[in-house]
């Protein structure tokens, strides 16, 4: 028998959860706290923080108790943050705001998650052997982890623009650098961040740090087009690749399958599809 991949249960196998007080209720309050702070930043009138966070555990508990083996549709983070907000009197959130709130929830929980000893080395060894890795978890991720292969240069930088402008589009921050978990303050303003390794595409923006920062800020003077935003979102949701025609063709050939955004309705011809990828950026 040939082993082609390995599936891990994340909790207890790869990751260690250490919530304050060592219980699930405390962990839910950490996530809810992130949701609370960002709704406050949007100037919503909310209950006092202590009272609001008391709703975190009932929301999670009720959600899990309401499901059965035939219906797991409610085990989603989007549902959880929507219900939290509803209990705090907020019912008019846009999809992008819900996405940002879900991210804030997970940021809170991630502060008490750490890899178990040897987990990183194990994953690296499996990758070196070209084995596929699958992860399962009963935590409340909204579907699968969303990702897309990205070509360099224009596509890479436009993905930076898309990610760093998300909090601004969602009304979570007045500008990109104001979002506390964004890399924008480093790339555009020069704020030190030991977690960031500058990509070669960014380094190529200028001969000096000042030139690179100026060029990077210039990218944000004009917003991405609605068409480009839609293309990035669809690629991320579907696991498609973002890049020029040679990049897409090479990946398709190597993988033996299409890496393009799946068309809706009637199939799109290869020629038309390539024209779209060139036009967007």
Domain residue ranges in the chain: 19-111, 154-279
Listed residue (167, 253, 177) closest to 217, CA to CA: 177
Task: Compute the CA torsion angle 225, 228, 229, 231 (nearest 10 deg).
Answer: 160
State what percent of residues in the chain have pLDDT above 70: 74
Q: Give the chain's length.
A: 281
Listed residue (142, 145, 74) closest to 105, CA to CA: 142
d(CA 162, CA 233): 9
DSSP-assigned beta bridge partners for residue 135:
8
Summarize pLDDT for 243-254 with one digit per residue, the tens.
778 878 887 887
Give the mean pLDDT per block of 10 residues along the chain (281 residues): 65 63 75 88 90 90 68 65 92 82 79 75 80 58 49 77 83 80 89 82 92 94 87 77 80 81 56 43 44
Mean pLDDT value across the chain: 76
d(CA 210, CA 190): 8
DSSP state letters, 58-105: HHHHHHHHT-BTTB-TT-SHHHHHHHHHHHTT-----HHHHHHHHHHH
Helix ranges, the chain (H): 10-13, 24-41, 49-53, 56-65, 77-87, 95-110, 119-128, 154-169, 184-189, 200-203, 209-219, 226-238, 245-255, 270-279
């Amino acid at each position: 028998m040939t082993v082609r991949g390995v599936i891990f249960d994340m909790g207890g196998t790869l990751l260690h959860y250490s919530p304050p007080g060592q219980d699930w209720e405390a962990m839910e309050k950490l996530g809810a706290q992130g949701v609370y702070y960002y709704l406050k930043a949007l100037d919503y009138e909310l209950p006092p923080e202590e009272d609001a966070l008391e709703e975190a555990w009932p929301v999670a508990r009720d959600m899990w108790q309401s499901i059965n083996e035939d219906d797991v549709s409610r085990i989603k983070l989007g549902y959880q943050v929507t219900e939290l907000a509803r209990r705090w009197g907020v019912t008019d959130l846009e999809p992008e705001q819900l996405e940002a709130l879900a991210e804030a929830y997970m940021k809170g929980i991630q502060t008490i998650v750490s890899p178990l000893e040897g987990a990183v080395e194990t994953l690296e060894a499996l990758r070196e052997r070209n084995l596929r890795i699958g992860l399962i978890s009963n935590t409340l991720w909204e579907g699968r982890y969303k990702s897309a292969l990205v070509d360099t240069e224009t596509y890479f930088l436009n993905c930076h623009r898309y990610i760093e402008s998300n909090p601004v589009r969602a009304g979570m921050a007045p500008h990109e650098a104001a979002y506390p978990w964004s890399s924008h303050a480093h790339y555009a303003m020069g704020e030190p961040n030991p977690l960031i390794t500058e990509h070669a595409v960014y380094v190529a923006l200028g001969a000096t740090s000042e030139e690179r920062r100026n060029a990077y800020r210039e990218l944000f003077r004009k917003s991405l087009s609605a068409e480009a935003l839609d293309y990035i979102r669809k690629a991320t949701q579907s696991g498609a690749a973002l890049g020029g025609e040679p990049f897409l063709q090479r990946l398709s050939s190597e993988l033996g399958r299409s890496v393009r955004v799946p068309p809706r309705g009637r199939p799109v011809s290869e020629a038309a599809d390539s024209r779209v990828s060139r036009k967007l950026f």
